[in-house]
Amino acid sequence: MIINRFLSELRLYFCNEWISKIPSHTIRVAYYKYFMGFNFGKHSTVLMRTTFDCARGLTVGNYSVINARCRIDTRGSITIGTGVSISSDVIILTADHEKDENGKKDRERPVVIHDYAWIGTRAIILPGVTIGRGAKIAAGAIVTKNVPPQTLVAGVPAKIIRTHEDEFCEQEDCKVYKRLFQ
């Protein structure tokens, strides 16, 4: 029991302190798949210095990107669709605390980000949120509630600014921007 916890924490430490700083998409994604238990679609990537709160619980569709320095809390599971762009320094949380009669209780709630969503720099997605297909989250927004498809939300807490009609690239046409050493 203690040895399993130690090995689990060591795997997470190695992931966040060593692997996340290796300037190779191939090595990072391989580690995330085989040692962390994450599921990645083809041509999806995670840029450098992104950290995770635990192993397992992350599924990423094809042609999606998680940019640099994000914090991804997979304790309650995160599902990211196809063609999703998550900008730098985004925080996605799936666990929080709820007060009960005995003090506080931990709870985990999944986050779902549907296809072709775009999340701006330093946005925060709170536990239990679903982001609709093609939705856009403005930089710095704090998303506390579900976001309908093809809407732009902004603010603290995030509110709908407008709806939009975008054309989405099909999987084979999507291009994921990858820097050589990111």
What CATH number is attached to the domain comprising 110?
Answer: 2.160.10.10
Q: Which of 25, 43, 97, 164 is catalytic?
A: 97
Domain count for the chain:
1
pLDDT tens readout for residues 23-40: 998 999 999 999 999 999
Residue 97 annotated to the active site: yes
Structural domain contains residue 24: yes
Structural domain contains residue 177: no
Query: Which whole number is the average pLDDT over 56-81?
Result: 96
pTM for the structure as a whole: 0.90
Nearest to 132 by CA among 104, 98, 106, 164: 164
Structural domain contains residue 176: no
Structural domain contains residue 36: yes
The reported pLDDT for the residue numbered 177 is 59
Nearest to 87 by CA among 124, 127, 131, 59: 124
Structural domain contains residue 68: yes
Which residue range(s) make up the domain with 125? 2-169
Structural domain contains residue 75: yes
Strands 159-163 and 151-154: antiparallel
Phi, psi angles (nearest 5°) of residue 66: -110, 115
